[in-house]
């Protein structure tokens, strides 16, 4: 992929924690709470669209949830910004 820099999509997990709404975290199943703890404890995670962490977080926090919307907000830099198509 042209212009692709893997380092750009490694996210420090404290940034994920900072956008996580406590009530949404508390509402997760026990299994998902354990997975969330594992992700946060890593310190840095890969949030490329094909990563396991990306898939789990997006499943735990769907569109419409405050946490899910924050994770998907391009301005928060948790998602890849699509390359502009070349003419």
Pick the residue with more confidence: 6 or 12?
A: 12
Residue 42 has pLDDT above 70, yes or no: yes
Cβ-based neighbour number of residue 36 at 10 Å? 20
Q: pLDDT tens across 54-87, in order?
A: 999 999 999 999 999 999 888 888 876 555 455 5
């Amino acid at each position: 992929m042209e212009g692709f820099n893997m380092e750009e999509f490694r996210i420090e997990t404290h940034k994920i924690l900072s956008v996580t709404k406590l009530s949404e975290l508390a509402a997760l199943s026990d299994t998902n709470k354990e997975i969330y703890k594992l992700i946060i404890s890593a310190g840095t995670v890969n949030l490329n669209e094909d990563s396991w962490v990306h898939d789990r977080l997006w499943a735990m926090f769907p569109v419409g949830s405050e946490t899910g919307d924050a994770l998907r907000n391009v301005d928060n830099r948790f998602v890849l910004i699509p390359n502009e198509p070349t003419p």
